[in-house]
Structure 1
Amino acid sequence: MRVVLIDDHELIWNGTRRLLEEVHRELRTEGEVLHFTALRDVAQACALPQRDVDLVLLDYHLPGLSGLPALLHMRQEFEGASVCMLSAESGREHIRAVLEAGASGFIPKSYGEADMAAALRLVLRQRVYVPAEFLFFEDVVRGQEADEVRNEDLAQFLGSELSGRQRQVLALALQGLPNKSIARRLDIAEGTVKVHLSMVYRALGVKNRVAALCRVMQAGVVLG
Structure 2
Amino acid sequence: MALATILTGKLKFAEVVQAASLDEAVEKLSVRSDISLALFDLAMPGIDSPANLRAVRDCFKTLRVAVVSGSKSRQDVLSALEAGVHGYVPKGLGVVDLAQALQLIVDGVIYVPPSIAILPSAAEEQPASPREAALPPKSALATLTPRQRDVLALLVEGKSNKAIARELDLGEGTVKVHMAALFRGLDVRTRTAAAVAGGRLLQAAS
TM (normalized to structure 2)? 0.51
Alpha-carbon displacement from aligned partner over 1:26-55 (angstroms, at most 9, x marks no partner): xxxxxxx62321111121122221134211
Query: Given the alignment of the two structures, is residue 18 of structure 1 paired with residue 5 of structure 2, yes or no?
Result: yes
In the other structure, the counterpart of 1:127 is: 109
Q: Quick one: distance in 2 between partners of 1:121 and 1:23?
A: 9
Aligned pair in 2 of structure 1 residues 65, 99: CA closer, same or farther (>3 Å)? closer
Report how far residue 18 of structure 1 moved.
0.9
Query: Given the alignment of the two structures, is residue 42 of structure 1 paired with residue 22 of structure 2, yes or no?
Result: yes
- Mapping for residues 59-98 of structure 1, pairs under 5 Å: 59-98=41-80
Unaligned runs of 5+ in 2: 121-206
Structure (1 or 2) with the larger CA radius of gyration: 2
Q: For 2:17, give the aligned amino acid.
A: T
Report how far residue 24 of structure 1 moved.
2.0
Q: Quick one: distance in 2 between partners of 1:23 and 1:16?
A: 10
Unaligned runs of 5+ in 1: 1-13, 26-32, 139-224
- Mapping for residues 1-224 of structure 1, pairs under 5 Å: 15-25=2-12, 34-48=14-28, 49-135=31-117, 137=119
Alpha-carbon displacement from aligned partner over 1:82-130 (angstroms, at most 9, x marks no partner): 1101222112222112112211000012222222112112112222111
Q: Quick one: distance in 2 between partners of 1:55 and 1:111?
A: 19
Q: Quick one: distance in 2 between partners of 1:118 and 1:135?
A: 19
CA RMSD of aligned residues (A): 2.2
How many residues align structurally? 118
In the other structure, the counterpart of 1:168 is: none
Aligned pair in 2 of structure 1 residues 135, 22: CA closer, same or farther (>3 Å)? farther
**Contact 1:52/1:80 (<8 A) preserved:** no
Moved over 4 A (4+): none
The structure whose residues are more often strand, as a share, is 1
**Contact 1:53/1:78 (<8 A) preserved:** no
Q: For 1:108, give the aligned amino acid.
A: P
Higher relative contact order (Cα pairs below 8 Å, separated by 6+ residues)? 2
Q: Quick one: distance in 2 between partners of 1:80 and 1:43?
A: 20
**Contact 2:51/2:83 (<8 A) preserved:** no
